[in-house]
Amino acid sequence: MANETNASVAVFGAYGHTGRFVVAELRDRGYVPVPAGRDLDRLRALEQGEVRQATVGDPGSLDRALAGAAAVVNCAGPFAETAAPLVEAALRAGIPYVDVAAEIEANADTFARFADRARAAGVAVVPAMAFYGGLGDLLATAAMGDWAAADEVHVAYGLSSWHPTPGTLASGVVSGRRRGGRRVRFSGGRLRYHDDALPTVEWDFPGPLGTQPVIGEFTMADVVTVPSHLDVPEVRTYMSAVAAADLAAAASAPVAVDDRGRSAQTFVVDVVVRSGGEQRRMSATGQDIYAITAPLAVEAVDRLLTGRSKAVGVVSAGAAFDARDFLGALTGHLTLRTAA
């Protein structure tokens, strides 16, 4: 839905790979993006009019960056370093905060540190409003439907390839250090750290991928977003083996193949929810995991600014919005499939 007020939206980290997609999506939706970040030359190279230099170590600069903005989208990782200062600035400004963090611990920190303060301030803080964390949460919420609880949620990522951005690699290093090299899973209703080897199993994706080997318990941000509001004690995520190998090899950065700047990468996100002997399933297919993050984040901003959200405080996508309606608004970017 086009924005009728032409509100300005600050984009921190606007010159990064995902940030550029977000700036373009805001502009296409009728908003005025206000690029912000620490590198003034890279901000000016965006040729977006007004830009605002700011750093997370200088709260005053963040306040100036957000002055007059209706909302802020944080696209600058590692989010272990940027999320808290930007949330603090958004709370001071009294405006919604959205980020695209895939870092499990950074997202958990946002829920733990700011839930009470954001709720008291009446401000919506939506972390992980991106391909990882946000999309899986929306699919799981939509698949749950009228179920009040479920036994398990499984989120399988079928990526044709994964050419990580420098930001993805940097965030992975930070997360690895925080975990001391251990792995993480969500089991028994909480995050658990372990040293177990990750199994390779087969997952039967819907088309176009079909059956693929996946790395079991390749844990992503869904283990924070999904159980933050859905009554489910087990959340497991899986990654196609070919994509996991690309990431481990730090394959070259994405290369644009169309006029929207998207890479040739395709994806299927397949979500299975189980309760007793019943199972519900929903999937989304699209192109370029970084590019799809932009309509996810901007649709969230638009709904927050036009009164189409359900909660304030720190909330995931599925808790903040009508999941089926939100996904339906992205049909120009995603192909959705529901199966019993």
DSSP SS3 for 148: coil
Angle formed at CA 220 by CA 55 and CA 12, multiple of 5 degrees: 20
| Confidence grade of residue 1 (pLDDT, cut at 50, 70, 90) | very low
- How far is it, in rounded angstroms, from Cα 167 to Cα 37? 14
Strands 97-99 and 152-159: unpaired
**How confident is residue 230, by pLDDT bands cut at 50, 70 and 90?**
very high
Of 53-57, 132-136, 138-142, 176-180, the one with minimum mean pLDDT is 176-180
**pLDDT confidence band for 232 (50 / 70 / 90):** very high
Domain 131-289+333-339, CATH homologous superfamily name and number: Dihydrodipicolinate Reductase; domain 2 (3.30.360.10)
Measured over the CA atoms of residue 299, residue 300, residue 301 and residue 306, the dihedral's sign is: positive
pLDDT of residue 209: 86
Q: How confident is the model at residue 5 (pLDDT cuts 50, 70, 90)?
A: low
| Distances, alpha carbon 42 to alpha carbons 36, 51, 53, 57, 146, in Å | 10, 10, 10, 19, 47
> pLDDT exceeding 70 applies to what percent of the chain?
98
Residues with Cβ < 8 Å from 193, sequence gap 6 or more?
Answer: 179, 182, 183, 184
In the Cβ-directed half-sphere of 18, how many Cα atoms lie within 13 Å? 32
Strands 200-204 and 211-216, bridge-based pairing: antiparallel
SS3 call for 332: coil
Count helices and strands in the chain by DSSP H and E runs: 12, 16
pLDDT at 49: 85
**From CA 266, how far away is CA 151, in angstroms rounded?**
30
Average pLDDT over residues 282-309: 98
* pLDDT score of 340: 61
Could you tell me the sign of the dihedral formed by the alpha carbons of 11, 16, 17, 18, in that order? negative
> Cβ distance 53 to 40 under 8 Å?
yes
For residue range 67-117, list pLDDT tens digits in order: 999 999 999 999 999 999 999 999 999 999 999 999 999 999 999 999 999
pLDDT in tens, 123-136: 999 999 999 999 99
Cite the residue boundaries of each domain of the chain with CATH code 3.40.50.720.
8-130+293-324
Assign 250 a pLDDT band (cuts: 50, 70, 90).
confident
Superfamily of domain 8-130+293-324: NAD(P)-binding Rossmann-like Domain (3.40.50.720)
Instruction: Report the distance separating Cα 258 and Cα 33, nearest Å.
Output: 22
CA distances 269 to 92, 136, 209, 315, Å, are 36, 7, 11, 21
The DSSP result for 93-131, as a single string, is: HT--EEE----HHHHHHHHHHHHHHHHHHT-EEETT-SI
Conformation bin of residue 188: beta by default, left when phi > 0, alpha when psi is -120 to 50? left
Average predicted confidence (pLDDT) for the chain: 95
Inform me whether the pLDDT recorded for 260 exceeds 50: yes
- Determine the length of the chain: 340
| Residue 7, CA atoms < 13 Å, CB-side half-sphere | 23
Q: What is the pLDDT of residue 15?
A: 97
Residue-wise pLDDT for 183-229, tens only, equals: 999 999 999 999 999 999 999 999 778 999 999 999 999 999 999 99
Contact 237, 173 (CB under 8 A): no
Residue 2: pLDDT above 80? Answer: no
Locate CATH 3.30.360.10 in the chain: 131-289+333-339
CA distance 171 to 62: 21
